Each structure stands twice: as structure tokens, then as C-alpha cells.
Structure 1
């Protein structure tokens, strides 16, 4: 799922202002939230906050996460929907069709 989000970021002009490590951290954080990974000893929220420290401010991380969730929510309606189609195949486990990505409200705290 993070690979899908990163590929979508290539189509978002706003993403050129961020470092690759920032985009990767945000993509992993969104993926963890959408997939609702089971709690870990450190906790998913702690992981996201820790990665925000290493890849930029929490505000930057949340901004990137918002951009990525919006991109995923509209990916199937864009003229450039090749990424959506590519990641809707069985080989990619239909990740682009995950219900949590089809609307930006799927990620708690990031919906518009």
C-alpha cells in the first residue's frame, strides 16, 4: 500500500516540496492507519510520531498524509488512472481498491 501511495505522489505537484524520506514516512503511516495494523509494543501512534521527528515536523507529516489520502481517494477518477489500474490487479492484492483509500475520510483525523 505504501508503494501505491508513493507512486501516486509522483502525480501530485505539491509533493515536490518534500524529501523522499518524508514522503516514505507519511506513506507508511497512512498505510498502517488504513490497514489498521494490530497494536505493537510501541503502538502505531508512537511510531508515527517518532517517524515525524526523524523526517520532519508533525505538521509536515500530517500535510503529506492528507495529500496522499486525497490522491488515493480521487485516483480512480483521474485521467491519469494508470496507477490505480496497476494496483487493482491480483498481483498487487487489489490495494488501490481498499475501502479505506476510496475516500479520504478512511483515515481518522485526515478527512476533509
Structure 2
């Protein structure tokens, strides 16, 4: 999909979340390694949908989320794997995402 233009099913959600001050749709729509479904409240920032045989789409879970419910701290989880793909030097979206993610995390601390 990344070289031929098909819809990868990656959907940015929760546009009001502070992370979108740093992230952009262009930085998050690229290769992913699956999705997550939590059994407690999370804030999903990017969700994965896959096509059904009838052409409709079904939600398969989150590929980037923030968990501030299950522990006293904050957990940020993603299946985008930006560090590997940034280091492989073939997926510019990974570099955009990695830098944006680090800027967001740095802003949380301050």
C-alpha cells in the first residue's frame, strides 16, 4: 500500500488530544505491526480498520494509545515501530512520527 496508494486502514482519531499538536496524519499513516484492544479505558489516537468482503470497514483496535487509567503514571503504546523503520532509512513517515512522538513526550514532562 505504501508505494501504490491503497488505503492502509489507518485512522487518526481523537483530534482534540494534545498529541495532535505534534503528530500529523502524514506522520502516522504508514507501516504498522498489528493493533491493541484494552480491557480498561484508554485514549486511542490512531485506529486500524480492515476491509470486509462487502467493502465496508471494521475496527481492529488501536495502533497508538495513551493509558492514564491502569497505573498512576502514563503509558504510551504503539505498534508503528518508528525506531526500527527510522534506522532502516526507507520509510520517511517513520522519521516524522518518531520526532513528533518525542516532541509530544517531552512536552508532557514539562
TM-score, length basis structure 1: 0.28
Larger radius of gyration: 2
Structure with the higher helix share, 1 or 2: 1
Structure with the higher strand share, 1 or 2: 2
| RCO comparison, higher one (Cα < 8 Å, 6+) | 1
TM-score, length basis structure 2: 0.28
